[in-house]
Amino acid sequence: MFPYLISIVVIITIFLYFRYHPVFGGKPDSDSFERIRKSPNFRNGIFQNPEPTIMFNKENSMLKTMRKFLSGTENGKPELVETLPFDKQKFLNNNEGISFTWFGHSTVLINLKGVVILTDPVFSKYASPVPFSNRAFKYSNSYDSDSLPDIDILLISHDHYDHLDYKTIKKIHSRVKTIYVPLGVEAHLRRWGVPSEKIKIADWGDNFNDNSGVGLTATPARHFAGRGMVTRNKTLWCSWVIEHEKTKVFFSGDSGYGNHFSEIGEKHGPFDFTMLECGQYNHNWPQIHSFPEQTVQAHIDLKGNKMLPIHWGKFKLSLHPWDEPIKRAKAEAEKKGVNLSEAQIGEVIHII
């Protein structure tokens, strides 16, 4: 009888955790839902990609893939990633061009002519709603949001746990002036205590003139979103075009390769600096994450100058060796004559 009661308690505890813990975010209010419903990108009850997209290659077994995850990948996780201490003053010193610091994965801090911009900040140890999954690699230098300068603009690409981190948002939002999110993601921020007046909500193609003088445009990406089993594609995902005076920057968020890159390049390019995902790819999901060679081609499609490969170096979310993305991207960039930045995590780099 006692083991039976214990089992019941455990099941109820798990249910309550997944049902009520704020890490899973919030639900859109009536106004937000009405805007979602009217979006041209929302059809049949979910958001759609800009072109037909297969989430999982059915030619490969999901079971075999899970076995590979459990058995591990050779060089899948490093013992230690050598990083550099973040020099905040050096970062802030260049107010005439572009400076950036990459903190691993898709978290990039940018100084764009004196305007401080942060993308998809994750400073927690886990890219997961539970503290035993998707643990971050060990770095030789530790980073915390407390060490960052105040943020003028925070850009969120979508609501997956490795891009929208509950603990980081709770800790940092009081030092952020404005947060820009794709449709539906605002519900998570509101539940986490972010004032509504700080949040700007975007559908693809929406333009904003930030008080800092920076122009922002939400552009398409080829991916998916959702923080729970029944919320897939109920929120939107996007990339971002960032403009200040004559300088242009592109942040891809997560995206498989597609026609949208050349379309964005034609409409908004050329770009002085692109931040493009090149990790967590796999032949089982070839259309929702870019392979490194596709990342280089996307940069060319965007008419980019300097490229920073992101979405690698912090979490193991696929089956490739942890440093394979940068090796493949570097080889392809050399072949295609692309100016690729091999930024070390924590390093302050001045571009122009």
- CATH of residue 147's domain is 3.60.15.10
pLDDT of 94:
82
Q: Please report the DSSP string for 259-284 in residue order.
A: THHHHHHHHH--EEEEEEE--S--TT
Residue 242 lies in a domain: yes
pLDDT of 215:
98
Mean pLDDT of the chain: 93
Percent of the chain topping pLDDT 90: 82
Residue 275 lies in a domain: yes
What's the token pair of residue 245? Answer: 């005076």
Residue 22 lies in a domain: no
Work out the pLDDT band at 16, boundaries 50, 70, 90. low
3-state secondary structure of 99: strand
The mean-pLDDT minimum among 18-32, 44-58, 205-219, 284-298 falls in 18-32
Region of 120 please: left (phi>0), alpha (psi -120 to 50) or beta. Answer: left
Of the two residues 308 and 58, the one the predictor is more confident about is: 308
pLDDT of 4:
60
pLDDT of 336:
98
What is d(CA 190, CA 198) in angstroms, rounded to the nearest whole number?
10
Work out the pLDDT band at 75, boundaries 50, 70, 90. confident
Q: Look at residue 14 and tell me whether its pLDDT is greater than 80.
A: no
Of the two residues 160 and 94, the one the predictor is more confident about is: 160
Domain range for residue 217? 27-350
Residue 52 lies in a domain: yes
Residue 18 lies in a domain: no
Global pTM exceeds 0.85: yes
Q: Look at residue 42 and tell me whether its pLDDT is greater than 90.
A: yes
Residues 213, 84 contacting (CB under 8 angstroms): no
The mean-pLDDT minimum among 23-32, 56-65, 128-137, 249-258 falls in 56-65
Residues 215, 160 contacting (CB under 8 angstroms): no
Residues 99, 351 contacting (CB under 8 angstroms): yes
User: In the β-sheet with 247-251, what is the strand arrangement from edge to edge?
Assistant: 207-209, 215-219, 239-244, 247-251, 271-277, 304-310, 339-340
Q: Look at residue 137 and tell me whether its pLDDT is greater than 90.
A: yes
pLDDT of 1:
58
| Number of domains observed in the structure of the chain | 1
Residue 21 lies in a domain: no
